[in-house]
Every structure is written in structure tokens, then in C-alpha cells.
Chain A
Amino acid sequence: MKRVYVNEKWCLACHLCEYYCAFANSGETDMVKALKDVAISPRIRIEQQGDISFAVSCRHCTEPLCVKACISGALTQTDGVIAIDRDKCVGCYTCILSCPYGAVMPSPQGAVQKCELCVNNAQGAPACVGGCPNRAIVFEER
């Protein structure tokens, strides 16, 4: 299965992936409208310390602890992609307690949010990958 991978050697800490992610999941068609004066809540997040930086997003694990632990049945895995049903999620955060990568996070709309590889928005392919200027984030089979 194709997944998002990061190469920290190439990461510039420009945070563009975060903006592309936020735009992709905003439901807006205009990037300026989606992001201007908005406190973004991206599903991919940069970790940064000194001159090291890298992006972290859901690994879409083959043994997804978040899905197995989900108390409501809101997290499911279909064809490898782990997605959240916000309608079912009550925001108990058991998935946040379970994810070894820290890749599931509270959503400003209540419930939780996580990377769904842009399969459930209008992008069709991970926007963070397309938006990375230095190819530090790739979408490939490994």
C-alpha cells in the first residue's frame, strides 16, 4: 500500500505541508479564504528542534492500535486507510492514548482528526506531498 513517508534530511521546516493539509481538509476551494486569519489545525505536524525537523502524520499501521482500541467504532480501516467517522466519535481520546506516533489529535470541531491520505476530501492524493517544496514528504509503496 502507498503511504506518506518523510525524509528528515530534506525537511526545511517550512510548514507548508501543514498549510496544504489544512486547506485540503477545509472544504474550501480558495486557499486564501481557507487559510487567511485562520488558526489552522493540520493533521500532519512538524516536529522541530535545533536544525532537525520532520513531519509526522498517520502511518496507517497494519496493526492499527487506534482502531482496535476505539471504544465507539468510529475509527475504521478500509483498504489500509484508517478513517474517522466524526458522527460516531464522542471524543474520548482513547485513540490518542493508543497511537505510538502521536498522529491522532483533537479536532477543533470536537471529535478527533487524523490523516486520511486525502481519500475523503476533494484532493484525491495527499496534499502535503504535493505541497512539499523539497520532496521531503513522498507518497509511495515501500
Chain B
Amino acid sequence: MEYVIIGNSAAAVGCVEGIRQRDAAGHITIVSQEAFHTYSRPLISYLLLGKTDEQRMKYRPDDFYEKNGCTLLSGRRAVRVDGTAHRVELDDGTALPYDKLLAATGSVPFVPPMEGLEQVKERFTFYTLADARALAAALEKPRRVLIVGAGLIGLKCAEGILARASSITVVDLADRILPSILDEEGAALVQRHLEAQGVRFILGDSVARFDGDGARLKGGQTIPFDVLVTAVGVRPNVSLLKEAGAQVQRGVITDVHGRTSLPEVYAAGDCTQSVDTVTGESRVLALLPNAYMQGEAAGISMAGGEGGVDRAMALNAIGFCGLHLMTAGVYDGEVYEKKDGSSYKKLFYADNRLKGYILIGDVQRAGIYTALIRDKTPLDSLDFELICEKPQLMAFTRAERAKKLGGEA
């Protein structure tokens, strides 16, 4: 069996480990545009922060490819998928035949058109190890940094370069930071925390144009800067499979086992859409755990098994300068709220089910809440007061607890 995987990140690694659960013999070829050993993408900000290094941030050990019988084509890009001839064409003119193909092509940073952008000499995106290296080189002397985008990537970048930049200004069109995962109050709390570390925010405004060494905002202000980071968002990298004729909306459409509409072609990770188990809607969930698990499921199916589990949902665990936050699911329905000091908690519930949560500060044991959402546990089967107070197994019935703690998990 010839397996070909395009991409070399979380979804690709999940696929390799999925294949090897069932098939020890088949040959796996990995095509990787980035010329690195597989690394943890989210750790690029920790690299700048000095909390890890390029060796420790490897997502799998040095002998991963060898141990798993993989040939890594490093620094090679797949340029075309021929779904009829079952071949992948590479940028060096060679073609790889496949029996089973996985597209794990991830996301690409989206850079919106902005007037004068081409004239900005030092501009970066923040998505790859190469980006992180380049940004670190640009900040060898302390410089003024402008970050466009107050989402996860923009703010992780800000945290990463806090000690390196002479100033950091973050501009976002939205009226709050982390708009896709936080409510207004939670966002304000995290914003105050980041401001106390020296990050300056300009919200509800956007860049009208760049000229000279400054950004002119629509609201009229001019922000002088030396280094620009655009972090407005990412888009699923779907072009290969789209051109090959696979069904694509925002992301590649797959079933729960990772199969696309093309025979023997699978897709996993950021480049796909998944059915959100909380809402039942198909959407892009560009998150690493999701990417790994989709990849693993696809690998198992590619090797002839049935690996898919319907458990995709929005889940975020992030910290900024010591303040941790976790969010999950959707923010619909009734709300349980608890606030004290720098701790903030909101639980969202409807139809006798927990639907989502926002936790800031105290995040201990949050996985118990996550499981309630994922398992769709009826809330009337629990002690509601206890579970609201804090995540604890005490809230379950004795019988349920015996099941949870007594058997093989």
C-alpha cells in the first residue's frame, strides 16, 4: 500500500499514527513544503518568548519518520493532485503515485488588501517557524511593532515579542479583543491584563493606508512603527483539492472518517470543515487537537478501519502572560455567571445540556465541563449547583461515578 500525505503538521502526524495502528507495512510518503522536522505550530510564540527552543518544540521525536516507516520529502510542494491517475505532482516535476492520499495542507494566513502595504519594508505574518525566525531577526534591536489583528495569533505574537519590541500596538476592526472566542466582559478583562504588560490597543478602527513609516487609521490617528505583523486571520488551504474537483465550501468537505468526495482521497485538519457536535453545523474549526484527531481518524480509515468519532467542537486553551483562559462550545441559552477578582466564569446551557463556557483565571479541571458538552450529558442527571460551583465528579450520581472511576477508561 502506498500512502501519500501532503503536509507535515498536526493532521499529518495524526494520520501517520492512525495508519500505523492498523497497517505496519504500507509505505508512507510525506510531502512537506516547510523544510523542517514536524514542529508544534502554536509554539512559535513560546519560542520567541524563550519558553522553548527549536529542538524541544518538535511535535514528535527525531526518529519519528524512521520509526514509522515514512519518507519525508522536505521542502517539496505538491502542485497538482490527479484524482483519476492517482498521482500527486510535485514542484520538482516528479510525480508520486498513491493508493490513498491525505491532504493535510492546513491554513494560510489571510492578508487583506491594504493601501501601501507593498511599500512596508518589514512586514511579517505569524504562522510558521520561518516567520518566527524572521521576526526575531527583525527585532534584534528593539523596534516599534504594529500588529494588525487582535485575534489569537496576533495576541500570541504580542506576548511572544513583549520583551523584544520597544512598543507594541494592536489594531483591530472589532470593538473587542479575541472577538471569536470571548464575550465583551471577558475580553475587557484580558485586554486590561495585556495593557498592564505594556500592549497598547486601538479597537474599532482599521488601517486606511500605509505611508512613510506610519499607518494611517480610518479613525484619523497615525501610528508610527518599524515592524508590521499582519494577523487578521487564516483561511483553509484548499486550492489543491479544489482544483482536483473535490467538494469544497470554505474548507474541504469530508465525512467523519476524513473521506472527501474524491475516491481514495482524504483530508484532515485546518483545511477541512467539520460538523460541530454542539450545533450540528459544518464549519471550519482550525484548532490543533481537532487537526490531530481528524488526521488520526483519516489514517485509520485509509488503512481500512473506521476511525471517525463525532466530537469536533470549538475548544481553546490559551494563556497571556500568566493569565489563562479556556473557552468551549457555543454561547447560547441561559447563563450561569461567577466572578471574583481576576477570575471569571460563564456557563451557557440550554435544553438540559451544557452548550459552552468561558473561564478566565481559574481553569482547573475544566475538562469535566468540556466532557459534559461533548457527551451531551443531561444536566438534570447531575447536581446542578455543585457543577456550577466548580467542575467536580462529586456532581455526578454515585452510580455514574462508579462507572467513570471503576472501569477501564
Residues of A that sit less than 8 Å from B by CB: 3, 5-6, 8, 47-49, 52, 54, 56, 59-62, 65-66, 68-69, 71-73, 87-88, 90-102, 104-106, 142
B57 touches A6 (CB 8 A): no
Of A5, A48, A69, which is within 8 A of B405 by CB? A5
A-B contact pairs, 13 of them (CB 8 A): A5-B405, A5-B406, A6-B405, A48-B394, A61-B409, A68-B289, A72-B42, A90-B43, A94-B289, A96-B367, A97-B316, A97-B363, A101-B405
Given A5-B406, A90-B51, A102-B392; 6 other pairs, CB 8 A cutoff:
A8-B405, A68-B292, A71-B10, A91-B319, A101-B405, A106-B364
- Residues of B370-409 at the interface with A, using a CB-CB cut-off of 8 Å, are 370-371, 386, 391-394, 398, 401-402, 404-409
> Is B120 interfacial (CB-CB < 8 Å)?
no
Q: Given the complex, which residues of A lie within 8 Å of B326, measured CB to CB?
A: 93, 96-97
Q: Specify which of A47, A72, A106 is in contact with B57 (CB 8 Å cutoff).
A: A72
B130 at the interface (CB under 8 A from A): no
Provided the pairs A6-B405, A93-B326 are in contact, do residues A47 and B392 lie with their beta carbons within 8 angstroms?
yes
A87 neighbours in B (Cβ, 8 Å): 56
Determine the chain A residues whose CB is within 8 A of the CB of B406 once the complex forms.
Answer: 5, 142
A27 to chain B, nearest CB (A): 22
- List 4 A-B pairs, minimum CB-CB distance, nearest first: A102-B365, A59-B409, A69-B289, A100-B371
Q: Are B367 and A99 within 8 A (Cβ)? A: yes
Q: Does B315 sit at the interface, judged by CB under 8 A?
A: yes
Complex-state Cα separation, A102 to B362, whole angstroms? 13
Q: Are A105 and B40 in contact (CB under 8 A)?
A: no
A69 to chain B: which residues have CB within 8 Å? 288-289, 292-293, 315
Number of residues from B at the complex interface, CB < 8 A: 48
B225 proximal to A (CB < 8 A): no
Residue B157 at the chain A interface, CB threshold 8 Å: no
Given A94-B289, A97-B326, A97-B328, are A72 and B59 also a contact pair (CB < 8 Å)?
A: yes
A142 touches B363 (CB 8 A): no
Binding site for A on B (CB under 8 A): 10, 14, 40, 42-43, 46, 51-52, 56-60, 288-289, 292-293, 296, 315-319, 324, 326, 328, 363-368, 370-371, 386, 391-394, 398, 401-402, 404-409
* Contact with A49, one of B318, B370, B394 (Cβ below 8 angstroms): B394
Cβ-neighbour of A101 out of B58, B364, B404 (below 8 A): B404
Say how far A128's CB is from chain B's closest CB, in angstroms. 14
Q: Across the interface, which residues of A come within 8 angstroms of B367, CB to CB?
A: 65-66, 95-102, 104
Task: Give min CB distance, A42 to chain B, whole Å.
Answer: 14
Which chain B residue lies CB-closest to A97? Answer: B317
Pick from B60, B289, B364, B398: contact of A102, CB below 8 A: B364
Q: Is the CB of A92 within 8 A of B318?
A: yes
Check A71–B58 contact: CB distance below 8 A. no
Residue from B56, B324, B409 with most neighbouring chain A CB atoms (10 Å):
B409
Which one of A3, A6, A48, A102 has the greatest number of beta carbons of chain B within 10 Å? A102
B352 to chain A, nearest CB (A): 19
Q: Give complex CA distance A65, B401 in Å.
A: 19
- Contact yes or no, B317 A92, CB < 8 A: yes
Give the nearest-CB partner of B383 in chain A. Answer: A49
